[in-house]
Structure 1
């Protein structure tokens, strides 16, 4: 089997970080993000790169009225209200430039090789105390409803916000139409809990520069398939943004990604890279230079080792095809 290069993006704008930054954000950060997304799409299309855009459902809305119309009746009842997108909006108001992006979603749908996925409707945290399985179900239903009504799309791939993958909720994902879910790297410091563990963050940061845990690429055969649950497609590496004044760190960080890609290509394994589009907001030009280097490297891996580009849906379908071949009885 050839190696596989998979990219998934957590598209969320302010909905993804409201509980961290509040109203203390630079408008240019998100205006840069909105400007850079069409450039990303052009780059992916011209290089025939398949990408899954896991998108917060609230971004699909045109305005506050539509946002409210599609919101579930049963809202998440987190014990700490600061984690609720609905509570934040009630307290701070809606700003269309950071809360809605239907025109960008339309561009994603119209761009070849791109898959529109879900990041839940309200950046839903499945590991936080107070919320319930039924509230999560209604959140997913809201995402499917607005995607279908506005864009005629049935969402199949899901990324849990903050990588809070709650295994007890996987059957709900499957029942609501999500066949593929992004998982976390197997290393212990990527296993999420309700509240961020600072020591884990240190290990994650260190692992971007030199090996701390085990190799994060993996064989297609290791991806488990069950007809009852969605297929879990583990992530391999987060693409952290370019940092001003840290040329050595930037070089080492990017070099680690390129070397991991090459190892995966040589071994016929899956390498799953992810990031948030808004990560490019502070240094958009430098971040795009790095992305071009990654895609140029993929082209070399394709020419040398036959590496493929597959989004989450198509990689998941490849897993199903493999299992189906194995299960064909011998005559």
Structure 2
């Protein structure tokens, strides 16, 4: 089996940033997500690239009544009350037309009808698995709600991307019991370990600048993965991230070449070695400086096309690759 090119997108709109970014500073990015996804699908299809949209369950709702209908019967009692998205319910609009940063059923429907891409879950309510105050029972209710609201659109959820990349081993077993077959793990380098980040003061203080630099120069390695090493002890297929595609920053435009080269070299390594390269970002990251971000992305897609022709490097969704790996395991 040749190398694989996987792209997963954390599709969350305001539900993913309400606890970190104010609408005063970030609303334009969120409002532009519809245009971003339209352009993204068009560009991806032109290069025969498949995407996995890991989608917050709340976005499937058609209106506030849907939210209340599918809402988990037990919600996490986070110690940090700012993490609770349900406190926003009374203040949001009634429908997608009225409030396009909290609903996205029409976008999800368009993605689903395209048939080239996958819709996975980003949990129902952007669940924080490592936060104090929640437990595995809360997570089970949240995941069940995410699966059920997707089923209302005839979408069968098979993959998960955990919000903020917060993963717990016993929660993976809950995923497996509920029909999930794959998840996006974190890079193996300690810089990307969210458990350390939540416990170690020095890591909290210094990890961000080193991770930022790692986007431009090779600190943590290529972060590509042998396809034979992806089975997690939970029984799920772990498809770890390789690189976060950082959005364009105008004042650092002189570094964009380095960012692209960092990604392209890792893609080349994966293609030659027959390994997985997994790129990810949030659609709202492209909500400002949109043309510059899409220029970078098309350069990456052109590199994919070259590697596809030269080495058979294949674009694939999370569940598509999971099925290939499982078929290969059964045939050996």
The answer as to whether partners of 2:128 and 2:166 remain within 8 angstroms in 1 is yes
Q: Match for residue 38 of structure 1? A: 38
Give the match for residue 67 of structure 1.
Answer: 67
**Equivalences, count:** 323
* Equivalent residue number for residue 181 of structure 1: 183
CA contact (8 A) 1:265 1:307 kept: yes
1:155 corresponds in structure 2 to: 157
In structure 2, what is the Cα distance between the partners aligned to 1:64 and 1:88? 11
Which residue of structure 1 aligns with residue 299 of structure 2? 293
Partner of 1:6: 6
1:108 to 100, 107, 111: 111
How far off its partner does 1:214 sit? 3.1
What's the CA shift for 1:225?
Answer: 5.3
In structure 1, the residue matched to 2:48 is: 48
Q: Which blocks of at least 5 consecutive residues in structure 1 are unaligned? A: 327-331
1:271 aligns with 2:272: no
Secondary structure in 2 matching 1:10: strand
SS at match of 1:234: coil
Pick from 308, 312, 325 the counterpart of residue 319 of structure 1: 325
Distance 1:214 1:29 in 2: 31
- Secondary structure at 1:8 match in 2: strand
Contact 1:225 1:319 in 2 (8 A): no
Does the aligned pair in 1 maintain the 2:92–2:102 contact within 8 Å? no
The alpha carbon displacement at 1:50 in A equals: 1.3
- 8 Å CA contact 1:144, 1:155 repeated in 2: yes
Residue 220 (structure 1) shift:
0.4
State the 1:37 CA deviation: 0.6
**TM-score for the superposition, normalised by structure 1:** 0.93
Question: Do structure 1's residue 214 and structure 2's residue 194 form an aligned pair?
Answer: no
CA shift at 1:79, angstroms?
0.8
For 2:22 and 2:301, locate their aligned partners in 1 and report how far apart those are by CA, in whole Å. 34
**Matches of 1:78 and 1:225, distance apart in 2:** 28
Would you say the 8 A contact 1:15–1:56 is kept in 2?
yes
**SS at 1:49's partner residue?**
coil
22-31 or 278-287, larger mean C-alpha shift: 22-31
In structure 1, distance between residues paired with 2:292 and 2:66: 36
1:182–1:233 CA contact under 8 A, matched in 2:
yes
CA RMSD of aligned residues (A): 1.6
CA–CA distance in structure 1, aligned partners of residues 106 and 174 of structure 2: 29
Deviates more, 1:38-47 or 1:49-58: 38-47
CA contact (8 A) 1:51 1:114 kept: yes
Conserved? CA contact 2:187–2:240, under 8 Å: yes
1:329 aligned residue: none
**Stretch of structure 1 that moved more, 95-104 or 154-163:** 95-104
In structure 2, distance between residues paired with 1:186 and 1:118: 23
Q: What are structure 2's unaligned runs of at least 5 residues?
A: none
Q: How does 1:64-213 map to 2 (within 5 A)?
A: 64-90=64-90, 92-94=91-93, 96-149=99-152, 151-193=153-195, 195=198, 197-213=204-220
Separation in 2 of the partners of 1:254 and 1:100? 33
Q: TM-score, normalised by structure 2?
A: 0.93
CA apart distance, 1:234? 0.7
CA displacement at 1:325 relative to structure 2: 2.1
C-alpha distance in 1, partners of 2:301/2:71?
A: 38
User: Is 2:313 the counterpart of 1:307?
Assistant: yes
